[in-house]
Every structure is written in C-alpha cells, then in structure tokens.
Chain A
C-alpha cells in the first residue's frame, strides 16, 4: 500500500490545464525531493519531473512540478491527447516503511 496519496483520476478537454496532487508526510515529501512519472498505457513509465520541479532534457515546459510542505503538485498545461496516461509521484521515505515510495497513481483523461 502506497504512503503517497493521489486522486484516482482527473480529466479536461484539449488545451486546458490539469493539476495532480500528491500528499505525503514529513518523512517523505516533507523532507525529500519529489519525482513524477508518466506511463502511457502498455508502456514503461517515463521520468517527467525530478527535484520537485526540474524537467529532464526533452520534456516540454507544459509539464511543471511544485512542492509545498508535505504535498507536491504536477501541472500540465495545453493538454494534448497524447498526455492521456497514468501519472505517479515518487520520493525517498526516511521512515522504515520503504526507502522509496510511489504515489497511488492518477489517470489523466483527455475529453
């Protein structure tokens, strides 16, 4: 069971903006860097954001990340049909539960 909570789903029409929240605790998000991963159905996850808000080379600036306290947020602007996927947050956890934990995952649907 994941210790990071995300909404099961979000949806919007093309061109709009969506945000995905990731809620944790002081042992994980509160004191560590958050990454975000995109998983298009049937494919392996892809790193979208690391260090809370940094984008790897090749990731468009439509994707953004932020962190405040024990929560993190992924934003997607100018939503495209190709953005329809599952999104997961992840971070180091300093408690004994697991060194690294993923969020529950959020399905983004482009209407």
Chain B
C-alpha cells in the first residue's frame, strides 16, 4: 500500500523559503508514470492546489504561486519536494503531498488518489 509522509520545519520566518519533502513508501516513484503534487489548506479554509510534477520531471504550477514555487523529484531517495520562497503569514497552512491517480477509462491524471497526513507550516517571526 502506497504511503506518503510529509516532513519539514513547522515554523518558517517571513520572507524565508519554506521547504517540505514527501517521503514515498510502498512503491517506487520511478516504477510507473504518475504525477506527484502538493496541496495546501490554510487553517479553517479550503483546499488550494500548489503544483504537480511528473515522475520524469515535467511540472505544472498554480499561476498564483508560480513565481515562488519549485517542485522537484529525488528518484534515488524515493521522495519529492516543494520549495516556496518569500513566504508571508498568508502562506500558513497544512501542506499535503499527493499522488495523482490515472483513470483507465478517461485517461485523466487529474484525480488525487493518495494523500499524506499533512503537516502544518506556520509563518511567523
């Protein structure tokens, strides 16, 4: 069974860079072609898709965050990461790493089949 686990600092100072890693277990990130992504949820608010990366490296980003976000894959370590620069208090959120699914009927990748438990990152001095 695939499992995802987010790791990283729970507190980041304003203007600094938030860095989180998602450790993948139960399958190899490179064994099959899937998208891997990040979604965040500010406290008490809804979900916001941040971006996704294909197992071979191609990326999609939310345009509202694109200038500040980088998502990368580390195949040997079986993990992927997100970096969000120049953070402010508005970036305080629970961050989830996800693995997209693949519909064998429609061929769509745009379904989030597996989720990590989430990690709260607070931006504060």
Residues of A within 8 A of B112 (CB): 35, 37, 45, 47, 90
Is B96 within 8 A of A45, CB to CB?
Answer: yes
Number of A-B contacts (CB under 8 A): 72
Q: Are A102 and B46 in contact (CB under 8 A)?
A: yes
Chain A contact-residue range equals 20 to 34
Tell whether, in the assembled complex, residue B116 and residue A50 are in contact, meaning their CB atoms are under 8 Å apart: no
Complex contact B111–A104 (CB within 8 A) = no
A contact residues around B64 at 8 Å (CB): 98
Residue of B nearest to A32 (CB): B110
Closest CB in chain A relative to B2 CB, distance in Å? 13
Interface size class of B (residues with CB under 8 A): 20 to 34
User: Which residues of chain B are near A51, meaning CB under 8 Å?
Assistant: 103, 105-106, 108, 111
- A91 contacts across to B, CB distance below 8 A: 110
Across the interface, which residues of B come within 8 angstroms of A45, CB to CB?
Answer: 47, 96, 112, 115
**B16 located at the interface, meaning its Cβ lies under 8 Å from any Cβ of chain A in the complex:** no
Complex CA gap A2/B62 in Å reads 12
Complex CA gap A32/B108 in Å reads 9
Chain B residue contacts of A43, Cβ below 8 A: 117
A111 interface residue per 8 A CB criterion: no
Determine if A63 is an interface residue (Cβ-Cβ < 8 Å): no
> B118: nearest residue on chain A (CB-CB)?
A44
When chains A and B are docked, how far (Å) is the Cα of A35 from the Cα of B39?
A: 15
Contact flags B97-113 to A (C-beta < 8 A → 1, else 0): 00001010110101111
Q: Is the CB of A44 within 8 A of B103?
A: no
A24 within 8 A of B: no
Give the docked Cα–Cα distance between A54 and B104 (Å). Answer: 11
A-B CB contact pairs (8 Å), 30 listed: A2-B46, A32-B110, A35-B112, A44-B115, A44-B118, A45-B115, A47-B101, A47-B112, A51-B105, A51-B106, A51-B108, A51-B111, A54-B103, A56-B101, A90-B47, A90-B49, A92-B110, A97-B63, A98-B49, A98-B64, A99-B60, A99-B62, A100-B49, A100-B60, A101-B49, A102-B46, A102-B49, A104-B46, A105-B46, A105-B47
